[in-house]
Structure 1
Amino acid sequence: MTTAPGTVLLSGVVGSTAYGFAHAGSDIDRLGLFAAPTEEFHGLHRPAESHVSTEPDVTLHEAAKWCRLALGCNPTASELAWLPDDLYETRSPLGEELIAIRTSFLSAKAVRNSYLGYADQQFRKLLTRDTTDPAARRRAAKHARHLVRLVEQGVRLHETGENVVRIPDPERVRRLGERIADHPATAEPLLAAAVERFSRPGVLPAAPDPRPAEAWLRRVRAAHYRPPAERAS
């Protein structure tokens, strides 16, 4: 895990490894959230909200930014609170508290818009790829896998309230992704079926409940504040 100017509260392995798509030579992606020192918020310049490195591939979001992303049901950020236990690398007490309130971030409209929106982005990439480039074909297969994953994760969230990060049958998704990469129109019935299922009543509330996140952030700020006398010693 890369170093952030603060304390990492929760981090783990995400991406293809978490979904079950990884193969020999796959990059290992890590995601985490950190608490910047509270006193850094008291001046003219606020601390950076994200730190990203590529060697290794690590993204760290400051606690408040992560909460905003999760309240919007951003698929990539949200999965940090839903990882299988064996994929976590840092689980502080405050990180455990965040996992405990993860369902409060969910809402029906945001899940629908985020998951279907990201899936549609993958579909449009498939439609505009260079069909003569072998490297583009490999990227297309990746986009197609993530299209299927996003649709299935989003529908499951809508219908059950659970975000299952580790795909139960990754090889099925891989095979379907290969077919979609070769024939993008194959994805159209999948997307249409997802839209229809999202149109039915689900288990998620109409809006998220920001109160647990607000209370959690206040505990984070209190825990990471050092009075001037302490900083001088």
Structure 2
Amino acid sequence: MSDVLLEGVVGSHAYGLNTPASDFDYLGVYVEPTRTFLGLHPPTRDRGTRHGRDGADATYHEVGKAMGLILACNPTVTEILWLENYTVISDFGAELVALRSNFLSAHRVRHSYFGYAMAQFRRMLHRRETQGLDDPRLAKHARHTMRLLSQGYELYTTGVLQVRLPDPEPYFEFGRQLTTGSGEAAAKALIAEYEQKFDSAKSVLPQQANEAPLEDFLQRVRRAHLDDQ
């Protein structure tokens, strides 16, 4: 895949929340030949994503789409720029990683991370109600809801996204608690705790992303791939 700028392992293995049953998940950024944007059917948001990597669970976003999602501080895409290691990293990929702080803005980080955690929280409670406490996916769902809250708050207050959690045990304990009768109360308490923490925290992030170097980067990527076949 010579058009891949950046690729790394994400998901439970990246967070340190993997179990023996966890699969490896990959996320990447690729580039379309610039000429494809000049024809009748340029890549759209839907067509700007492709899947699959030798049978593994893998998602690749075209660089323009990826940058738009990272500007929105989408949690599942933003982390590609904060991994400890990469399975593929080109010169442009390394430059994109170096630009990662320019994507961040206080409002978008809070809105995206807390908002996504709330959506996961509602799905988690719905799963408890419809599938019961024995659903094996419930604990995993709970772990990742807690992770979104803690990582989002860290990014909001420090400007750094630590993908690998320093101590995974509290997340596993929260997952186990969600499979008990007191789980719903624990989940609601966690959401309330982080809402209060976000409300009282002073973010180190700017109010607006610094788009000028990002625009310059994307323009250079497009020019470099103008004549790709």
TM-score (norm 2): 0.91
Larger displacement relative to structure 2 (183-192 or 104-113) = 183-192
1:129 is matched with 127
CA distance in 1, matches of 2:167, 2:39: 50
Tell whether the 8 Å contact from 1:70 to 1:105 is kept in structure 2 after alignment: yes
Asked if 1:9 corresponds to 2:5, the answer is: yes
Aligned counterpart in structure 2 of residue 40 of structure 1, from 36, 53, 62: 36
Q: Deviations over 1:165-194 (max 9, x none)?
A: 001111221112211343122022221121
Tell whether the 8 Å contact from 2:113 to 2:149 is kept in structure 1 after alignment: yes
Look up the equivalent residue of 1:53 and give its one-letter code. Answer: G
Tell whether the 8 Å contact from 2:30 to 2:63 is kept in structure 1 after alignment: yes
Calculate percent identity across the aligned residue pairs: 44
Aligned counterpart in structure 2 of residue 96 of structure 1, from 86, 94, 97: 94
Quote the offset at 1:44 in angstroms.
1.1
Asked if 1:185 corresponds to 2:181, the answer is: no
Aligned to 1:13, the other structure's residue is in SS state: strand
CA distance in 1, matches of 2:89, 2:29: 10
CA distance in 1, matches of 2:22, 2:141: 15
Aligned to 2:178, the other structure's residue is in SS state: helix
Where in structure 2 are there 5+ consecutive unaligned residues? Answer: none
Tell whether the 8 Å contact from 1:131 to 1:137 is kept in structure 2 after alignment: no
1:83 is matched with 83
Q: Deviations over 1:60-81 (max 9, x none)?
A: 0000000000000000000000
Look up the equivalent residue of 2:83 and give its one-letter code. Answer: L
Aligned counterpart in structure 2 of residue 164 of structure 1, from 140, 143, 162: 162
Quote the offset at 1:136 in angstroms.
6.2
Q: How many residues align?
A: 222
CA distance in 1, matches of 2:195, 2:176: 22
CA distance in 1, matches of 2:184, 2:80: 30
CA RMSD of aligned residues (A): 1.9
CA distance in 1, matches of 2:179, 2:60: 31
Aligned counterpart in structure 2 of residue 115 of structure 1, from 113, 116, 140: 113
Look up the equivalent residue of 1:67 and give its one-letter code. Answer: M
Larger displacement relative to structure 2 (144-153 or 165-174) = 165-174
Quote the offset at 1:121 in angstroms.
1.4
Look up the equivalent residue of 1:204 and give its one-letter code. Answer: L
Distance 1:132 1:117, change over 3 A: closer
CA distance in 2, matches of 1:121, 1:30: 23
Aligned counterpart in structure 2 of residue 31 of structure 1, from 27, 33, 37: 27
CA distance in 2, matches of 1:187, 1:135: 14
Quote the offset at 1:131 in angstroms.
5.1
CA distance in 1, matches of 2:221, 2:192: 42
CA distance in 1, matches of 2:58, 2:133: 24
CA distance in 2, matches of 1:129, 1:64: 35
Tell whether the 8 Å contact from 1:30 to 1:57 is kept in structure 2 after alignment: yes
Distance 1:142 1:41, change over 3 A: same
Tell whether the 8 Å contact from 1:69 to 1:77 is kept in structure 2 after alignment: yes
Aligned to 1:120, the other structure's residue is in SS state: helix
Look up the equivalent residue of 1:119 and give its one-letter code. Answer: A
Q: Deviations over 1:2-46 (max 9, x none)?
A: x5xx71000000001100111223111000000100111111111
